[in-house]
Structure 1
Amino acid sequence: MFSENNIQVIEQAPNWPAAVKQASQPLIASGAITTQYIDNMIASVKQNGPYMVLADYFALMHARPGIGVNQMGMSLLVSRKPVDLAGKPVKIFLIMAAMDNTSHLKSLQKIMSVFMDEKAYQTVLAGHKQEIITLFKSMGVTQ
């Protein structure tokens, strides 16, 4: 699901669209998504508000499956300082690119198990890349 290259940690993004763009860069680099997918994620928040913020400091960023997606992929950006996403503070930007409405669900369930574990969640929030990689490997979400 994840490679180490798909995990980034920064001090702080200037704004949430910049965070989404930076979080998406590993997927752009691998050819998994196009810039259209990034534009669609940003447009969706602008149109619908911060519905992608699922928990304190956590946003599951996505757009319509298949449009601008060449292959399923996920990437993670952790900002040590929160970024305002339409009134909600976010530190974790998880980008999910899906080909259709169902093929990504098993991978999503596995990665969400990390974020639903309080200790694991706090490890990710702390924003230390090597600790996040070690955690993801131990939970079976990185290769």
Structure 2
Amino acid sequence: MLRYFYDNKLIRFEEEIPANWEEAIRFSGRVMKNQNLVTDRYIDQVISDVKEYGPYIVIVPGVAMPHSSAKNEGVIGTGIGFTIMPKTVSFEEGNEEKDAKLFFMLAAKDSEAHMQNIANLSDMLMEEDMVDDLMKVRNMEDYVAVMNKHEK
């Protein structure tokens, strides 16, 4: 899966520190917009969903999976974008369990593809040392080293 991000130019090393979680979601949407997978409408919906349902997108400490419904009109194509923030972003003040630095934005044209993307991403994140290794990545050279370490 790490090669997927690399080969499809769906990885971004964010340089700007987001002011808050909303801005972090917008930043994580940039790589998806650049590859014509989503529009601002989709990103706005993700933010709206988090406001309505809480920080459900923080799936484990340090990792966020911004996504919304496959029915959203802002979805142009199916894919996952990976953005590494320069610093941890808090979704819930005082709760480190809801902080994230690694953002995997999902978009899918149908529910089946959406569920498959979640399953593939979950499998990757459960690999031993994967999250810890990705948290240390600062640039493409670091990323390639982690990718090579985890390739099967």
Instruction: Report the counterpart of residue 76 of structure 1 in structure 2.
Output: 82
TM-score of the superposed pair, with normalisation by structure 1: 0.84
Structure 1, unaligned runs of 5 or more: none
Q: What fraction of aligned residue pairs are identical, expressed as a percent?
A: 24
Root mean square deviation of aligned Cα: 2.1
Q: Alpha-carbon deviations, 1:2-50, whole Å to 9, x = none?
A: 2453212235322111111111112112211111100000000011111
Alpha-carbon distance in 2 for matches of 1:17, 1:80: 15
Q: CA deviation at 1:86?
A: 3.1
- 1:113 alignment partner, SS class: helix
The letter of the residue matching 1:8 is: R
Alpha-carbon distance in 2 for matches of 1:104, 1:44: 16
Is 1:112 aligned with 2:122?
yes
The letter of the residue matching 2:13 is: V
> Could you tell me whether the CA contact under 8 Å between 1:79 and 1:127 is conserved in 2?
no
- 2:43 alignment partner, SS class: helix
Alignment size in residue pairs:
140
Structure with larger RCO (C-alpha < 8 A, sep 6+):
1
Q: CA deviation at 1:90?
A: 1.1
TM-score of the superposed pair, with normalisation by structure 2: 0.80
Once structures 1 and 2 are overlaid, which stretch shifts more, 11-20 or 127-136? 127-136
Once structures 1 and 2 are overlaid, which stretch shifts more, 96-105 or 39-48? 96-105
Structure 2, unaligned runs of 5 or more: none
Is 1:9 aligned with 2:20?
no
Alpha-carbon distance in 2 for matches of 1:139, 1:93: 19
The letter of the residue matching 1:92 is: L
- 2:106 alignment partner, SS class: strand
Relative to structure 1, is the Cα distance of residues 32 and 137 closer, same or farther in structure 2, using a 3 angstrom cutoff?
farther
